[in-house]
Amino acid sequence: MKIEDEIKQKPFKDAYSKAMVNLLYTNSYLVTGQSRLFKPFGLSPEQYNVLRILRGQHPDPITVSSIQDRMLNKMSNASRLVEKLKQKEMVQRKECAEDRRQVDITITAKGLDTLSQLENEVRKFNKDYIHLSEEEVDQLNNLLDKLRG
């Protein structure tokens, strides 16, 4: 449905303002779905994302600031998300020997197991929830990469 109808608003003044609203609205649509998907596993979307980052390094550790760099939301707070995941025993924290300011984070077996349980479900969700053809989704990816400049 056209975004103007979904949020019952008058036509936009220009296509850029429309795109801004359209992107924010679509994000909300996606995050709402993701939240429901992850909920049975006791994870929020951002916690899931941090786990994926850690799995990408496994079995190597990664510091808190490197996690922050790779997070989808640059203004988020890796430190507190890691703490939440530690409480769920999905990550380990260890002081870094070479630089004691840093903290090495590693995903645990429980974390890896949770991710693998979610894997197929997530892929199916992504495909089903994004109502675009293969060609269209490629187009969208290209436009988004360009958008950010």
39 binds DNA (CB under 7 A): yes
The reply to whether 21 sits near DNA by the rule CB under 7 A is no
Closest listed residue to residue 120, CA positions, set 56, 33, 37, 53: 37
Nearer Cβ to DNA, position 13 or 80? 80
User: How many residues of this chain bind a second copy (CB under 8 A)?
Assistant: 60
Q: Which is nearer to a second copy, 87 or 133 (CB)?
A: 133
Among the residue ranges 29-37, 78-86, 93-101, 104-112, the one whose residues contact a second copy (CB under 8 A): 29-37
Contact 53, 115 (CB under 8 A): no
Structure token digits, residue 133? 């053809």
Distance CA 55, CA 109 (A): 10
Does position 17 interact with a second copy (CB under 8 A)? The reply is yes
Residue 61 structure tokens: 């550790």
95: which residues sit within 8 A by CB, 6+ positions away? Answer: 102, 103, 104
- Taking CB under 8 A as the binding criterion, the range among 30-38, 84-92, 96-104, 108-116 that sits at the site for a second copy is 30-38
Q: Answer yes or no whether residue 7 interacts with DNA by CB under 7 A.
A: no
Return the residue of 17, 26, 79, 141 that touches DNA, per CB under 7 A: 79
Instruction: With CA atoms as reference, report the closest residue to 117 among 35, 38, 62.
Output: 38
Q: Which residue has the tokens 């707070």?
A: 77
Q: Can you read off the two tokens belonging to residue 83?
A: 């703490």
Which residue ranges make up the site for DNA (CB under 7 A)? 28, 31-32, 35-36, 39, 44-47, 63-66, 68, 72-77, 79-84, 93, 96, 99-103
